[in-house]
Structure 1
Amino acid sequence: MKRILVTSVSGVGKSTVVARLAELGHRALDLDSPEWSEWVDSADGSGPTPSQPGKDWQWREDQVRDLLADDGDGVLFVSGCAANMGVFRDRFTGVVLLSAPAEVMAERLTHRTTNPYGKDPEELARSIEFKESVEPLLRATADLELDATAPLEHVVGEIERFARG
């Protein structure tokens, strides 16, 4: 089974992309949900949100390990970004990084309706900081980078082509 990770910092569009992949009939999951992730004590005492001081968002390693152990046919698309996702890098066939300018991130975070994260001014500021500090780390391990300001169907089509390749 091919396993494709779609990643980015908050507000770039990974949840929207993976939801569209699922609508198109692909096996696609958003790991940035309580089913797959949880708040844990932060290694450095900081975190992405003032609502969870000293906590960081991490994938539930036992569940993600089981999910990625499936060696069936087809493609599994997952989206997410978590402090411990590097533990699983070798389980992915490919990693797609979505990127967008900070102004686009801010607009998407403040106006999205599917997730409250980023509406708090401190969370928004932290997300923009992550564009500078975390995105370069994601870029270093990505196999493909896509401009998430392109139309959704274009971004999804590029990810489907990448998975076929």
Structure 2
Amino acid sequence: MAVILVTGMSGTGKSTVLDQLKQRGYRAVDTDYGDWIEHVPRRDGAGVEPQWRENRIDALITGHELSGEALFVGGTVWNQARFRSRFDEVVLLSAPIGVLLARIAHRDTNPFGKTAGERDRIVADAAAIEPLLRSSATVEIDTRRPLADVVGRLTALACPPPAGVHFGRHARGSA
């Protein structure tokens, strides 16, 4: 079965979607939580940047490839491109910046984005990083759609289509 990366900017709903997938019985790992990420000095010397602990992500994918089940991995880190070939699909969750900032202002599951400086960083990251994520995505889903629709699109990627139905494996699509 498929190994699917669910990525996107802060506030797009990655954690919410992954929680819904878990409730439906799928294996979904939110790399924002647990010991999946380490913070390394930025190349420009201006602070630190989160990156996946590559040995842990490699072990997760390797161990799961033999399971015959779908695996959803959620996160947005600078070294995720190193694992691109290991993902059957790369799904970009997206929404306009105003929607992201409104969601972040009202969420209580993650403190990031509550300060003016963090909100400024979200705006800057959306302008600089989201186009890079979009260029490597196989599918983009607008998360202004109902949550059930977003989760339904993801579960459809995890399962083979019914016999006789053929979809482009890496066809770009947006909802």
Q: Give the secondary structure class of the aligned counterpart of 1:81.
A: coil
Q: Quote the residue 1:129 is aligned against.
A: 124
Give CA deviations for 1:49-97 in whole Å, capped at 9, x if unaligned: xxxxx10011111111100112221100111000111111111011100
CA contact (8 A) 2:37 2:51 kept: yes
**Unaligned ranges ≥5, structure 2:** 161-175
> CA RMSD of the aligned region, Å?
1.1
Q: Quote the residue 2:137 is aligned against.
A: 142
**Unaligned ranges ≥5, structure 1:** 47-53
Deviation at 1:39, TM superposition (A): 1.4
Give CA deviations for 1:145-164 in whole Å, capped at 9, x if unaligned: 00011111110001111222
Q: Quote the residue 1:100 is aligned against.
A: 95
The code of the aligned residue for 1:35 comes to D
Cα distance between partner residues in 2 of 1:152 and 1:108: 14
Cα distance between partner residues in 1 of 2:75 and 2:13: 10
Task: Describe how 1:1-165 pairs up with structure 2 within 5 A.
Answer: 1-46=1-46, 54-70=47-63, 71=65, 72-165=67-160
Deviation at 1:45, TM superposition (A): 2.3
TM-score (norm 1): 0.92
Deviation at 1:125, TM superposition (A): 1.0
Give the number of aligned pairs. Answer: 158
The code of the aligned residue for 2:117 comes to E
Cα distance between partner residues in 1 of 2:116 and 2:74: 24
Q: Which runs of 4+ in 1 moved over 6 A?
A: none
Structure 1 or 2, whichever has the larger Rg, is: 2
